[in-house]
Amino acid sequence: MPTVSLLTIERIQAFKTMFISILLEAIPFILLGVILSSLLQTFVSEQTIRRFIPKNPLLGIVFACLLGILFPMCECGMIPVVRRLILKGMPVYIAVVFIITGPIINPIVFAATFMAFRNHPAIAYSRMGLAFAVAVIIGLILYRFITSSPLRISRAHFSGGDAVEGHQHSGSGFSGKMTTFFAHASDEFFEMGKYLVFGSLLTALIQIFMQRESLLAIGQGPLSSHLFMMGFAYILSLCSTSDAFVASSFQTSFTSGSLLTFLVFGPMLDFKSTLMLLSVFKSKFVLALSALIAVTVLACSLLLERFI
């Protein structure tokens, strides 16, 4: 009995240590991401971005993939902005590519991934490359098959709402923008923070209390490891600036390819972003896009696993 109690105490201590370490490592990157996202949301207009979009479809997709380098935003603030861009003329395939790659292909996420996988830096580079490849494939498929607007809101409704919004904000100056900046930053920090706490909690519980043999059996399976990590990423709904620290805690149990699946699939599609997509796009489009992302990420990560 004393042995069991001692074992339980040791596990609880290990759980607390892991939970706190994941949180402390991730919070600085979340804070940096929130500040940059809020600056862009407040001071950079959609017209500024739209002015630089290439007309060529392939160049447009590549441009959308790299846009996150200039505008590192989490999907929380990105989806509403992208909806406005589509209604103002941005092609759907470019907008969707920006939504799925913006949270991954940006300097903050690269730095966070590199720090989390200091002993295996190839993961950071592979994450960027895999996200780029998946986005190009999805972008080309959407360009080929999307023939009508998948948005829930019409242009006419948008124009009316835009006029009202313009009237409401016409008198705001620099002080008004700073107020908006701080309000947006605080809202986004607490919004992302609760998902980080939940993700860190669940990760620590799995790592400490799940049987090591069971975890290894799943994590070393050629297909089960990828499917488990896809489901795990979808449920956790972590911000892309913090998910690498969660993934790194599974390095000894899961294959590198399945960790990449987690790191790419999660920012592209999770429970939180699905709800946000459903508020902007028609259900049929969101369902088709979700299936496309899942299949493409799984196929590409299985292929890439052979080389890392």
pLDDT of amino acid 222? 87
pLDDT on residue 134: 96
On the question of pLDDT at 167 being above 60, the answer is no
Q: What is the pLDDT of residue 301?
A: 95
3-state secondary structure of 116: helix
pLDDT tier at 27, thresholds 50, 70, 90: confident
Buried b (16+ CB within 10 A) or exposed e, 86-118: bbeebbbbbbbbbbbbbbbbbebbbebbbbbbe
Q: For the residues 207-233, what does the mean pLDDT come to?
A: 83
Give this prediction's pTM.
Answer: 0.76
CA nearest to 123, candidates 253, 270, 247, 302: 247
- Number of independent structural domains in the chain: 1
Residue 122: partners with Cβ closer than 8 Å, 6 or more residues away = 256, 308
Note the pLDDT of residue 76.
59
> Average pLDDT over the chain, rounded to whole?
81
Q: Taken in order 127, 130, 134, 137, is the CA torsion positive or negative?
A: positive
Is the per-residue pLDDT at 169 higher than 50? no
Residue 200 has pLDDT above 50, yes or no: yes
Helix (H, G, I), strand (E, B) or coil at 304: helix
C-alpha dihedral, 37 to 39 to 45 to 46, nearest 10°? 0
Question: Binning pLDDT at 50, 70 and 90, where does residue 265 land?
Answer: very high
Residue 97 identity: V
Percent of the chain past pLDDT 90, that is, above it, reads 31
Contact between 239 and 30 (Cβ < 8 Å):
yes
User: By residue range, what is the domain housing residue 74?
Assistant: 2-307
